[in-house]
């Protein structure tokens, strides 16, 4: 399970638990809250009606007095009220009055007149001067039949003292507020679901973003591990800082390893020319000492040998200088991650410049260069560095000149295939052995030249591969069916 999914699951679990707890608190508080509000209203109503019923209770006409008539008239009234979307047509409140003994002397429903209510909490507590209220089920098996009863004392003041002469109770079914509770619960659940959905979407976006940032850093690390050219991902915040820190670490570690590899490779490659120079120098030194000790000049080193040794020293010195120059050029290319200021270039112009620079070497070996361009109205434009592309073409042409038979023709072909531009350098030489085809672009790898020529530095084709890769292209080396080899560069067209 990837880290993005783990973050999403953890985040969603926290949100779900928080939503569940919050929902339970709201749902558990809605019903008691509404009932508390209703009880508060019933308290005011009961005390107001208790004052209205006092005169009839004291006069003994509780059952048929003016209070009773008003209550009965109220029960028949069509209220026609609309309360927050709910219609209310009839009074749902029951009113009953008990005397000082708890006997019902008035009941708006007419059901329990004359019954003893002295043991019900509302009457019992009120007769003793306490707040009396109860909630009882009219049907013990039905929870929705619960009815709230709130009582108020009917007091008589005599000689500066008050005594309770009766109790008036207002009863209201809890079912009358059930629609309000259900609607409130529905609103809470609906909005809770919306908030949970929004939280899920936010979690998905956050998890996707985190996974994307971490994935980019992982791909960058994998590319660096594989030795590929890679730039740190364009990340924000701490991820950007981490990317830059990884790039700094990569540059320092890579630079150290790079120097170690180059020192080792350069030391190995310089052994051969240095040994040749040392050997020639020792022979010349030995010959000079012998000439000085001999009176006769006939015993000295022949001039032809002396000239050959001096030529060897010069050739090997030039080889070392060339190797160092190419190493420096290759190091500059390998160390670059990208072309900082690419330009739009015409590859035909680059090819002509390379042909002009290679002309002296071709003339020295009696070679002809044939530059051919496939007709394409879209042109041969590429984006990149003119120096690197020109030097790459020069390296390919120099390599072809080393293997081409004297007097032969080297072909430089320019072509365009869809959105790619190809450059082929073809010679008529002996071709490339099969075992060397896959290693030709390795650093310091070279083949013996025809006719006993010395090996090259083995850096030219490596430079080409690095430069072309820096331009987003590819290189290849193959043998031609009609003899010879063809080295190819393929670059993205613009």
Tell me which of 131, 164, 184 is where a domain ends: 184
Residue 444 backbone phi and psi in degrees, to 5: 70, 10
pLDDT value of position 494:
87
Domain assignment of residue 306, given as a range: 270-334
Ranking 28-42, 52-66, 76-90 by mean pLDDT, the lowest is: 76-90
pLDDT for position 223: 76
Sheet holding 368-373, edge to edge: 368-373, 409-417, 420-426, 485-492, 474-479
Among 144, 169, 184, the domain-final residue is: 184
Task: Assess whether 63 and 102 both reside in one domain.
Answer: yes
In a domain, 192, yes or no: no
In-domain check, residue 202: no
pLDDT of residue 52: 93
pLDDT digits (tens, 9 = 90+) for 119-176: 999 999 999 999 999 998 888 888 778 899 999 999 998 877 889 999 999 999 988 8
Same domain for 457 and 330, yes or no, is no
- Residue 250, pLDDT above cutoff 80: no
Tokens of 241: 């800082």
CA distance 125 to 70: 27
Structurally, the chain folds into a number of domains equal to 3
Which has the higher per-residue pLDDT, 413 or 342?
Answer: 413
Same-domain status, 85 and 162: yes
User: Residues of the chain with pLDDT > 90: what percent?
Assistant: 29
**Beta bridge pairs of residue 158:** 161
pLDDT in the model for residue 269:
54
The pLDDT assigned to 427 comes to 94
Residues 325 and 370 occupy one common structural domain: no
Q: How far is CA 186 from CA 103, 183, 190, 317, in A?
A: 43, 5, 6, 93
Residue 38 belongs to some domain of the structure: yes
């Amino acid at each position: 399970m990837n880290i993005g999914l783990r973050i999403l699951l953890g985040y969603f679990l926290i949100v779900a638990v928080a939503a569940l707890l919050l929902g339970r608190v709201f749902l558990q508080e809605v019903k008691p809250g509404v009932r508390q509000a209703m009880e508060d209203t019933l308290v005011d109503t009961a005390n107001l009606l208790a004052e209205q019923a006092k005169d009839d209770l004291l006069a003994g006409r509780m059952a048929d007095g003016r209070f009773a008539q008003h209550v009965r008239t109220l029960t028949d009234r069509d209220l026609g009220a609309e309360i927050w979307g709910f219609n209310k047509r009839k009074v749902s409140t029951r009113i009953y009055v008990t005397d000082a003994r708890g006997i019902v002397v008035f009941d708006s429903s007419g059901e329990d007149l004359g019954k003893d209510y002295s043991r019900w909490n509302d009457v019992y507590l009120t007769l003793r001067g306490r707040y009396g209220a109860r909630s009882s089920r009219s049907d013990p098996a039905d929870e929705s039949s619960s009815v709230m009863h709130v009582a108020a004392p009917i007091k008589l003041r005599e000689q500066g003292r008050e005594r309770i002469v009766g109790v008036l109770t207002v009863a209201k079914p809890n079912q009358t507020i059930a629609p309000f509770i259900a609607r409130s619960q529905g609103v809470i659940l609906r909005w809770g679901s919306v908030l949970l959905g929004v939280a899920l979407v936010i979690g998905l976006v956050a998890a996707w973003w985190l996974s994307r940032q971490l994935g980019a850093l992982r791909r960058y690390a994998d590319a660096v591990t594989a030795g590929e050219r890679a730039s740190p991902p364009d990340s924000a915040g701490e991820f950007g800082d981490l990317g830059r820190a990884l790039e700094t670490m990569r540059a320092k570690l890579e630079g150290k390893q790079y120097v170690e590899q180059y020192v080792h490779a350069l030391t190995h490659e310089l052994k051969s020319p240095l040994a040749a120079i040392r050997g020639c120098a020792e022979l010349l030194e030995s010959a000079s000492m012998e000439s000085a000790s001999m009176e006769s000049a006939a015993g000295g080193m022949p001039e032809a040998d002396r000239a050959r040794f001096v030529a060897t020293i010069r050739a090997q010195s030039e080889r070392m200088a060339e190797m160092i120059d190419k190493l420096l050029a290759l190091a500059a290319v390998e160390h670059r991650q990208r072309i900082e200021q690419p330009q739009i270039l015409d590859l035909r112009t680059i090819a002509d410049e390379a042909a002009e620079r290679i002309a002296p070497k071709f003339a020295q070996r009696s070679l002809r260069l044939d530059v051919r361009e496939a007709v394409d109205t879209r042109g041969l434009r590429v984006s990149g560095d003119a120096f690197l592309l020109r030097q790459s073409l020069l390296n390919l042409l120099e390599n072809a000149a080393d293997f081409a038979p004297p007097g032969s023709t080297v072909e430089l072909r320019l072509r365009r295939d869809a959105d790619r531009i190809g450059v082929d350098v073809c010679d008529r030489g002996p071709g490339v052995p099969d075992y060397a085809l896959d290693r030709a672009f390795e650093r310091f790898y070279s083949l013996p030249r025809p006719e006993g020529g010395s090996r090259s530095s083995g850096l030219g084709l490596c430079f080409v591969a690095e430069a072309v890769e820096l331009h987003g292209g590819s290189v290849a080396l193959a043998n031609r069916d009609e003899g010879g080899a063809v080295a190819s560069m393929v670059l993205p067209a613009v």
